[in-house]
Structure 1
Amino acid sequence: MSNQVLKHYRFAEKPLPQAQYTWPLFGSGLDQLGKDGRAVEASLPHFEDDQLLMRIDAISLCFTDLKEIDQGENHPRLKDRNLQTNPIIPGHELSMTVVGVGSELSDQYSIGQRFTIQPDVWVNGKSIPFCFGMDGAYRQYAVMDQRILAGDAGNYLIPIPDEMSYSAAAITEPWACVEAAYRMGYRTSLRKGGKTLLLGASEARSGYSIAPKWLADSAPEVVYCCDVPADLKEILVSRSSTLGFQLKEISREEIATLKITFDDLLFLDGPAENVLAYSNHLEKGAVIALYNAKPLSSEIEVDLGCLHYDEILYVGASGLEIADAYQKTYPRAEFKKGGTAWILGAGGPMGRMHLQRAIESQSGPATIIASEVSSVRLNALREFFLPLAQKNGKNLIFVNSVEERPEFERVMQECLEQGGIDDIEVMVTLPGVIAESCAYLAPQGIVNIFAGMKRGVKMALDAWQIIGEKQVRFVGHSGSGLDDQKAVVDRCISGQLDPNLSVAAIAGLNQIPDGVRAMKNSVYPGKIVIYPQILDLPLTGLSELKDTHPKVYALLGENGTWNMMAENALLESLLS
């Protein structure tokens, strides 16, 4: 195919087809994707005067897709949907080109414009994600309606310049999830206008105080007291009259039966079992504050699923000033400059993105530990990222915590002797492994639970790490927002980020099931990119292109990385 034909493709100058191929999901399991293992032919979608018709140019496969396909109607996002009669099309990481513009939008959009999408779409306060609340990316064409073009956050489409490859644009969404984990802001006060519960115990100390200005600046609407020491209760009675918040006594039985949820839950010197018993009474973004003068007699249990999905923050202090738990140690979202970071489970697609970000961050860590339990993945990390680390002046250490246990322990002991690890980015879903990693934290170290676990998955933890002098913090984050993805696109445009470093394999539309299967079995270390306008392109690792598409292989970047030149060559050779 000539460059002229590629130009016609890029600017959507060719006539539109009458039909397209799609991959609807009719139930749970990969055998329920499409019909009889094949894509389904459907009419080209009609678009209204206030809508756009998009050609989908690239799709990046994601583990969210895998969960949706595996669980079907059992997925929390699809539990009220009959997929047999009302199937859903998965996929939410994509790059698109405008091929049809409704008459009411002709002054805003034009044929050939390129976009990606932030899939976490909200309309009138309701979440309707692209791929759950509406059909997603596993198809060749899609209509963008007003839910996307004028949702609660505005326009969920993000413009993409012609200089960015289709694959890079598609991968901005997972990169936005990575970026969001470092952009989170956490409260250093009670939630203003919220609901606070102070839960005491028979052994609760007297002498607690609350900084007047701190409380005044963030006064809740209601403060509930349960077994609170008398002197602290007197302070609260006085402050409630001057600040105007309601002060209510509540019993433990009422907490359990009234189903009240709290924005701030303060445990005053109680036993460890209190933490788990009352931690299910929380609003999203709640803070659990732990106060104790000495280590607890047993470990607390932390719900890792709630910490991740509900963005629960654990803070603590050993003193008697309530504000100290919130303000003494700020839970950093960003890496500590010049510190030591550990990417725990660095070999998967998302782990590799976190590792790339740590290496390329000019204000990030000086030393980075990348751990894996697979020697194959670890060798792939070493081969790919060591040159990048050397280029950026970073000390990159690779460890296998299972197959090379003595070396792992030596490296970690050396880290402890040098002060400990400042940031642990968690990509694994094993509570015991996560708990073990905490032993290597530096004072004021941060554990970021990036990997998503089901609510109810618990980790036993010595709460003194949070309360005592070490003052470590546990944070978690799920998904991304429109601003996060726009920030990633801006970084790509400025040359600060190359998402294509994450690409490990490519395929055509008919090979989506092969890609999902390979993702499930961790066949490739990075992202799998689908080119849906190419119906048949066998799933191919980048190194395999040497035999299957040598002209494309010859254009790969340094270290065999995907890029726009290779993508153009692929399109030139196969779109015809």
Structure 2
Amino acid sequence: MEKFKLYKQATNTIPETHQTWPLYGSCLEKLGYLGKTVEVKVPTYNQNELLARIDAVSLCYSDVKQINLGNKHPRLLDRDLQKNPIVPGHEVSLTIVGVGEELASKYKIGDRYTLQPDIWFKGKSIPFCHGIDGGYRHYTKIGKEILHGDAGNYLIPIPDEMSYAAAAITEPWACVEAAYRMEYRNHLLDKGSLWLIGCGKSRQGYQLGDLLEQAIPREIVLTDLREDITKQIKDVCNIKKIPVYIKELDVVLNSEQLFDDVLVLDCSSATINRASKKMNKGAVLAILCGKPAEKTIEIDLGRLHYDNIYFVGTTTLNLADAYKQTNPRVTLKPKGITWILGAGGPMGRMHLQRAIEAKNSPDLIIASEVTEDRFESLKNFFLPMAEQHKKRLIVVNPKGESYRYSEVMSRVMEEGGVDDLEVMVAVVQVIAESLQYLAEKGVVNLFAGLKRGVCVEMDPWLIYGPKQVRFIGHSGSGLDDQKAVVEKAVSGELKPELSVAAVGGLNQIADGIRAMENRLFAGKIVIYPHVLDFPLTACSEFKEKDPGIYNTLGKGETWTKEAEEVFLQKGLS
């Protein structure tokens, strides 16, 4: 293992040039030059900077989106990629190989880190792989943007005991972790903008309750409210010195104004749909109505996922009840029923693993998948894991075994319904059909990313009626989320490397992108940049291709630190 030991020490001479995969346009053919890497100079670093070796980069489906969209990607709209290309890749494991003089007391050669890629510096977003060249290369410079960013140091220390693959995969695991760490309001946004909308059918007798006690809006707009509630609001606002404006519905709808809180009192579904278009990022829309709706409403799934909008409601006449009747819950309900819809993909498998390994876990976990090979992989991998953790897991294929699926869901409804619906599929019809199985106070967590403007039609009675269903969604992760994942991995509570499905060398990145597009692997693909050329290989394929590596795999043909070391010993150039 001499070659690997020298690599780990990170004392080798840094070459003048290295290989990279720059993106020059909007398709896979624009990644690199003529389908190959591009040789460029290794970044130089000054006394306040570091040079890091990229030991592993995990491929993400957002890489596929970035490559296919190019400068049409929302984060690359102002960038001329032909003249100023960007290197993709944001899930990385790093080793420090160069230390600037002024950083010598804090860093040393051989220190290992992972990186939170959502980098903000002086109020500007410069993500690693969108604003800063990413991980599809050998080396990267670590400058002030990363070391002294708005959230602190975006480098996260990694112990030697953790494999390079595990360190890289802490980033997608952080996205999973973030989905269970979100925060939603059960009150108005302080210093926010509030819009209350009534209509001719609005009930009499509405009360403010303590709506204006916990938070004070900077302004309130009233539209078509009855005189009794209008007077209450004006009296309180006069004391608290909150500006109040009376505006017609169409005037507000045709304005540029957005609101942080929107309360709709007994209005039609059409009015709710129109009002929801005026929600700011992170806004709450509260539906107050005393009876079931006559028609469905539309909920923008893209905005749920990317903009964290939130819907609440109540049948009572207390405005504050809309927020407080059901407090936001983002963690899986202990001893409840969790359904992971579309569990067979890389992220779905992470959610499933987390549910099984969780300390305060659900009593029953349903994992559904319609793709046959992914369905079989779920059964083979996770049923033994669930048994080991003494968890009740049902893996079902709604398409391939429809009768059994119906039986399973009937049994779920007999037990009260689904408490947590974790959505991994971006198919509106499938999402809409799944809502019928929700329990009282069930939570729908939209993890799958859909474009803004993609809506699902649903009965709003689910939200404001006795079921009190809540919809949440999240995109990406933050520094604290990834630190939490690293802590779990170090403590042994989480094994990120179990997510690895296939590995390859730097020259195989394009093959990895195609594999994700074609859904060839159920788990994550990890590329080792300093192995220049190694065909993309599933863990199970090592049995035939390299028994030496295969014999170091873990239970269930899973990637291990030992397998990684043998792989690198054989593959390092």
- Pick the TM interval, shorter chain: over 0.9
1:419 to 409, 416, 419: 416
2:285 to 285, 288, 292: 288
Q: Are the aligned partners of 1:341 and 1:368 in contact in 2 as well (CA < 8 Å)?
A: yes
1:405 matched to 2:402? The reply is yes
1:489 to 486, 489, 514: 486
Structure 1 residues 24-75: Cα deviation after superposition (integer angstroms, max 9, x where no partner): 0000110000000000011111112111101000000001100000111111
Match of 1:179 in 2: 177
Aligned partner of residue 254 in structure 2, secondary structure: helix
Match of 1:163 in 2: 161
1:519 matched to 2:510? The reply is no
Aligned partner of residue 544 in structure 1, secondary structure: helix
**1:255 CA displacement:** 1.1
Structure 1 residues 494-543: Cα deviation after superposition (integer angstroms, max 9, x where no partner): 00000011000000000000001001100000000000000001000001
**1:7 CA displacement:** 2.2
2:19 to 18, 21, 31: 21
Aligned partner of residue 5 in structure 2, secondary structure: helix
Aligned partner of residue 212 in structure 2, secondary structure: helix
Q: Are the aligned partners of 2:253 and 2:274 in contact in 1 as well (CA < 8 Å)?
A: no
Write the distance in 2 (CA, Å) between the matches of 1:6 and 1:376: 35
Q: Are the aligned partners of 2:3 and 2:572 in contact in 1 as well (CA < 8 Å)?
A: no
Q: Are the aligned partners of 1:331 and 1:475 in contact in 2 as well (CA < 8 Å)?
A: no
1:6 to 4, 7, 15: 4
Match of 2:189 in 1: 191
1:101 to 99, 102, 112: 99
Q: Are the aligned partners of 1:148 and 1:157 in contact in 2 as well (CA < 8 Å)?
A: yes
**1:243 CA displacement:** 2.1
Match of 2:66 in 1: 68
2:299 to 299, 302, 308: 302
**1:253 CA displacement:** 2.7
Write the distance in 1 (CA, Å) between the matches of 2:519 and 2:465: 40
Write the distance in 2 (CA, Å) between the matches of 1:405 and 1:547: 36
Write the distance in 2 (CA, Å) between the matches of 1:396 and 1:194: 44
Structure 1 residues 355-389: Cα deviation after superposition (integer angstroms, max 9, x where no partner): 00000011020100000111211110000001110
Aligned partner of residue 320 in structure 2, secondary structure: helix
Aligned partner of residue 403 in structure 2, secondary structure: helix
**1:5 CA displacement:** 3.3
1:560 matched to 2:553? The reply is no
Write the distance in 2 (CA, Å) between the matches of 1:77 and 1:495: 36
Q: Are the aligned partners of 1:216 and 1:243 in contact in 2 as well (CA < 8 Å)?
A: no
Q: Are the aligned partners of 2:25 and 2:31 in contact in 1 as well (CA < 8 Å)?
A: yes
Write the distance in 1 (CA, Å) between the matches of 2:459 and 2:12: 64
1:215 matched to 2:212? The reply is yes
Write the distance in 2 (CA, Å) between the matches of 1:288 and 1:402: 35
Poorly superposed stretches of 4+, deviation over 4 Å: none
Amino acid at match of 2:25: G
Amino acid at match of 2:552: L
Q: Are the aligned partners of 1:11 and 1:113 in contact in 2 as well (CA < 8 Å)?
A: no
Match of 1:83 in 2: 81
Provide TM-score, normalisation by structure 1: 0.98
Match of 2:537 in 1: 540
Match of 2:121 in 1: 123
**1:89 CA displacement:** 0.5
Amino acid at match of 2:124: K
Aligned partner of residue 77 in structure 1, secondary structure: coil
Match of 2:112 in 1: 114
- Aligned pairs for 1:219-238 within 5 A: 219-238=216-235
Write the distance in 2 (CA, Å) between the matches of 1:541 and 1:348: 15
Amino acid at match of 1:182: Y
Write the distance in 2 (CA, Å) between the matches of 1:229 and 1:435: 35
1:239 to 232, 236, 239: 236
Structure 1 residues 312-360: Cα deviation after superposition (integer angstroms, max 9, x where no partner): 1111101111111111111210000001000000000000000000000
Aligned partner of residue 299 in structure 2, secondary structure: strand
Amino acid at match of 2:123: G
Amino acid at match of 1:22: T
**1:244 CA displacement:** 2.5
Write the distance in 1 (CA, Å) between the matches of 2:540 and 2:160: 27
Match of 1:371 in 2: 368
Match of 1:474 in 2: 471
Match of 1:311 in 2: 308
Write the distance in 1 (CA, Å) between the matches of 2:250 and 2:329: 36
Match of 1:57 in 2: 55
Structure 1 residues 252-305: Cα deviation after superposition (integer angstroms, max 9, x where no partner): 232133311110011111110112212222221110111111111100000000
Write the distance in 2 (CA, Å) between the matches of 1:5 and 1:348: 35
Write the distance in 1 (CA, Å) between the matches of 2:387 and 2:207: 51
Match of 1:444 in 2: 441
1:204 matched to 2:233? The reply is no
Write the distance in 2 (CA, Å) between the matches of 1:294 and 1:261: 28
- The runs of 5 or more residues in structure 1 that have no matched partner are none
Write the distance in 1 (CA, Å) between the matches of 2:348 and 2:492: 21
Write the distance in 1 (CA, Å) between the matches of 2:23 and 2:295: 47
Write the distance in 1 (CA, Å) between the matches of 2:400 and 2:160: 46
2:146 to 148, 169, 189: 148
Amino acid at match of 2:365: I
**1:18 CA displacement:** 1.6
Q: Are the aligned partners of 2:198 and 2:225 in contact in 1 as well (CA < 8 Å)?
A: yes
Q: Please provide the CA RMSD for this pair.
A: 0.9
Write the distance in 1 (CA, Å) between the matches of 2:159 and 2:241: 53
2:358 to 356, 361, 366: 361
**1:77 CA displacement:** 0.9
Write the distance in 2 (CA, Å) between the matches of 1:420 and 1:315: 20
Write the distance in 1 (CA, Å) between the matches of 2:361 and 2:260: 32
Match of 2:381 in 1: 384
Amino acid at match of 2:115: I
Aligned partner of residue 215 in structure 1, secondary structure: coil
More moved, 48-57 vs 168-177: 48-57
**1:6 CA displacement:** 2.1
Write the distance in 1 (CA, Å) between the matches of 2:490 and 2:320: 42
**1:230 CA displacement:** 1.0
Write the distance in 1 (CA, Å) between the matches of 2:90 and 2:203: 52
Write the distance in 1 (CA, Å) between the matches of 2:491 and 2:282: 33
Provide TM-score, normalisation by structure 2: 0.99
**1:475 CA displacement:** 0.6
Q: Are the aligned partners of 1:305 and 1:453 in contact in 2 as well (CA < 8 Å)?
A: yes
**1:574 CA displacement:** 1.5
1:271 to 258, 268, 271: 268
Write the distance in 2 (CA, Å) between the matches of 1:232 and 1:265: 15
Write the distance in 1 (CA, Å) between the matches of 2:241 and 2:408: 55
Amino acid at match of 1:281: K
Q: Are the aligned partners of 1:57 and 1:532 in contact in 2 as well (CA < 8 Å)?
A: yes
Amino acid at match of 2:18: Q
